């Protein structure tokens, strides 16, 4: 888990350490585009753009899909969403534990009550 996260962060940083790739990511944040579109927009050769998209794709920042002869690129799974999902999972674990803890507490309250009754009797 730790290594996976770190490797991904490393890949992300490497991918983002380039002004063109940051531009491509911003562009794809607005709308999907083909590699040809991107190459034109950034005034690059197709081969050059393919390389950049490849780096972004490896880092999980961009996903591509080939439909017919056109490869369409879009931003990868939203990391914010991924993070929120993790936090929600963490919350669920604690909610589950605390619901169980409620039962333990209920038992403790009950035994305290009956102990109190016995003392009064």
Partner 1 sequence: MKNRTTVERKSERELVVTRTFDAPARIVFEAWTKPDLFKRWWGSKSMGMSLQSCEMDVRTGGGYRLVFNNGMAFFGKYIEVTPPSRLVWTNDEGGDGGPVTTVTFEEKGGKTLLTMHELYPSKEALDAAGTGAADGMGELFGELDEFLVTLGASGGRA
Q: Is 115 in the site for partner 1 (CB under 8 A)?
A: no
Q: Is 46 in the site for partner 1 (CB under 8 A)?
A: no
- Provide the mask over 10-29, with x wherever binding to partner 1 is found by CB under 8 A and - wherever it is not: --xx--xx----x-------
Token code pair at residue 95: 């909610």
CB count within 10 Å of CB 28 equals 21
Contact 29, 75 (CB under 8 A): yes
Of the candidates 46, 83, 113, 115, which one interacts with partner 1 according to CB under 8 A?
A: 83
Contact 64, 24 (CB under 8 A): no
Site size toward partner 1, by CB under 8 A: 38
Tell me how far, at minimum, the Cβ of 70 lies from partner 1, in Å. Answer: 26
**Following DSSP, what letter does each residue of 73-115 receive, concatenated?**
EEE-S-HHHHHHHHHHHHHHHHHHHHHHHHHHHHHHHHHHHHH
- Of the pair 70, 101, the CB lying nearest partner 1 is at 101
Residue of 82, 70, 73 whose CA lies nearest to 53: 73
Residues that bind partner 1 (CB under 8 A): 1-2, 5-6, 8-9, 12-13, 16-17, 22, 78-80, 82-83, 86-88, 90-105, 108-109, 112
């Amino acid at each position: 888990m730790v290594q996976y996260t770190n490797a991904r962060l490393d890949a992300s940083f490497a991918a983002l350490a380039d002004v063109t790739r940051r531009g491509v990511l911003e562009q794809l944040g607005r709308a999907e585009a083909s590699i040809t579109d991107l190459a034109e927009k950034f005034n690059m050769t197709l081969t050059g753009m393919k390389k950049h998209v490849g780096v972004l794709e490896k880092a999980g920042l961009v996903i591509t899909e080939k439909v017919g002869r056109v490869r369409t690129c879009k931003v990868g799974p939203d990391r914010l969403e991924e993070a929120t999902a993790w936090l929600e999972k963490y919350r669920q674990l604690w909610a589950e534990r605390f619901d169980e803890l409620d039962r333990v507490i209920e038992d403790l309250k009950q035994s305290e009550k009956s102990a109190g009754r016995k003392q009064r009797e």
